[in-house]
Amino acid sequence: MTQLEAARKGLITEEMKTAAAAEKIDPEILRQKIAAGTAIICLNSKHAGVRPLAVGEGLRTKVNANIGTSKDDVSIDKEMEKARVAVAAGADAIMDLSTGGPVDEIRRAVIAEAGVTIGSVPLYQAALEAVNVQRKAIVDMTVDDIFAGIEKHLEDGVDFITVHCGVTRSTVERMRNEGRVMEVVSRGGSFTVEWMAHNNAENPLFEHYDKLLQLVKPYDCVLSLGDGFRPGCLADATDRAQIHELILLGELTQRAWDAGVQVMIEGPGHVPLNQIEANIKLQKRLCHGAPFYVLGPLVTDIAPGYDHITCAIGGTLAAAAGADFLCYVTPSEHLRLPTVEDVHEGVMASRIAAHAADIVKGVPGAWEQDLAMARCRKQLDWEGQFRLAIDPEKARRMRAESGVDEEHGACTMCGEFCAYKVMNERQQKEAAGG
């Protein structure tokens, strides 16, 4: 019985209890959300020793970090270090998107060692098997090849898989009729579009969706319905292809629920600030409140090297409007495979966005953290500030590097003219009757 089926029967599982405790909510509230499909628990039945992750309505906004090799950099050690840094920085989940080197070994190492929820895109596996093992083109993958890749990831214990089921021939036609600046920027989406064109056939993951549900259900793996037509630039945001795919994903969500399979929806991409809230509301309406997992969204196209910032701006607005899960973007986006330092910066940027949105959402404990920080700042309690900081190590290091005289308490920005210091001294004099 899946978490969804248990919730619908009124049963509170151990996974629900553990996840609810982490969210600081009553397990019955979480059960009701899972039963309604507005929340999910990410935990493959084969992924032992990891805490179940709840994602959805009214819960803390979660953050995912993407890692993975490419053909140009196949180092397992680098990717494992990135996984460790991402987890240490507070990432709730890691997606392994490796496309170079020993991808099976990398995925299994990440699952075994990361200690958090793991996601993947099994279509990459099928493509690599076709090219490297069977010595054929990606477009010559068979339906069986695609499903074999999915099954391998499920067996390894991946907790959620991105599947581009909404990339269909009719959606491609709408994209071409309207016109796009960047067409398809999703890697999995582009594989699927080219496969359909070459084989003059429908997307296997759409045509054989019931088979996919049957395959996934025994593992209780979450289907992350991918946005193959997500906009890759502001000019393509909220166009026919994106919205048509979203309509299809809403229909596929209902079919998954009918089969007892948990679902979340992946979202855009590059979106102007004034369209973000509408995108979130549209997704929630068309997909019946299913959890929304967004990449960014990035609010401008002109900031290579700073796209973790453009992501954080868009992610804050998206999460405040109801997005449930933020996929980070690093400073390397559009430029290179991210470094270990890029991964840290990307996680921190998205965690700041998630927390800022949680204050707006009224997530338990979010407001209280900021209030505690304010009180520590008022008292010039530096140890308290470091303890509450989202990145304590960086905050402590930056203060130490300033060479500040700890005896006087203030920082080097204002020194003796520190407003807190002035006000605290006045209050001390008043208390002493001065």
Tell me: do 232 and 209 sit in the same domain.
yes
- Answer for the pair 190, 172: CB distance below 8 angstroms, yes or no: no
| Beta-ladder partners of 295 | 327
Mean pLDDT estimate for the chain = 95
411 known member of a binding site? yes
Q: Is 227 marked as a binding-site residue?
A: yes
Residue 164 forms part of a structural domain? yes
Yes or no: say if 303 and 310 are a contact pair by the CB < 8 Å rule. Answer: yes
Same domain (yes/no): 169, 197: yes
d(CA 315, CA 284): 16
Q: Is 42 annotated as a binding residue?
A: no
Q: Is 95 annotated as a binding residue?
A: yes
Do 417 and 317 share a domain, yes or no? no
Domain boundary among 360, 390, 409: 360
311 annotated to a ligand binding site: no
In a domain, 20, yes or no: no
Is 303 within a domain? yes
Give the torsion through C-alpha atoms of 327, 329, 333, 338, to 10 deg. -100
Residue 231: asked if its preceding bond is cis (omega within 30°), the reply is no
36 inside domain:
no
Judge whether 66 is annotated as a binding position.
Answer: yes
**Is the same domain home to 327 and 402?**
no
Q: How many other C-beta atoms lie within 10 A of the C-beta of residue 277?
A: 15
| Predicted confidence (pLDDT) at residue 396 exceeds the cutoff of 80 | yes
- Contact between 188 and 126 under an 8 Å Cβ cutoff? The reply is no
Domain end, chosen from 305, 333, 360, is at: 360
Model confidence pLDDT, tens digit, residues 144-156: 999 999 999 999 9
On the 0-12 / 13-18 / 19+ scale of CB atoms within 10 A, 402 is exposed
Domain that holds residue 426: 366-431
**Ligand-binding site membership of 124 (annotated):** yes
DSSP state string for 103-169: HHHHHHHHHHHH-SEEEE-HHHHHHHIIIIIS---GGG--HHHHHHHHHHHHHHT-SEEEE-TT--H
For 108-134, write each residue's pLDDT tens digit: 999 999 999 999 999 999 999 999 899
Given 314, 344, 360, the domain boundary residue is: 360
Over residues 57-85, mean pLDDT:
96
Q: In CATH, what number is assigned to the domain containing residue 270?
A: 3.20.20.540
| Domain co-membership, 286 together with 395 | no
Assess whether 377 and 349 both reside in one domain: no
pLDDT at position 423 is 82
Entry pTM: 0.95
3 lies in a domain? Answer: no
Domain count across the chain: 2
Q: Is residue 78 part of a domain?
A: yes
Q: Are residues 151 and 273 in the same domain?
A: yes
Q: Is 293 annotated as a binding residue?
A: yes
Instruction: Report whether 420 belongs to an annotated binding site.
Output: no
Place of tokens 């390397």: 332
Mean pLDDT over 385-404 rounds to 93
285 in any annotated domain = yes
- State yes or no: 164 annotated in a binding site: yes
Query: Are 176 and 295 found together in one domain?
Result: yes
- Is residue 209 domain-shared with residue 111, that is, in the same domain? yes
Kindly tell me if the per-residue pLDDT of 415 is higher than 80: no
166 is in an annotated binding site: no
Q: Is 224 annotated as a binding residue?
A: no
Determine the Cα angle at 247 with ends 242 and 250, to 5°.
125
Q: Is 418 annotated as a binding residue?
A: yes
| pLDDT tens digits, one per residue of 237-293 | 999 999 999 999 999 999 999 999 999 999 999 999 999 999 999 999 999 999 999
- Checking if the pLDDT of 390 tops 80, the result is yes
**Is residue 90 located within the same domain as residue 230?**
yes
Q: Is residue 128 part of a domain?
A: yes
Phi and psi (nearest 5°) for 96? -90, 115
pLDDT per residue as tens digits for the range 224-236: 999 999 999 999 9
Q: How high is the pLDDT of residue 411?
A: 82
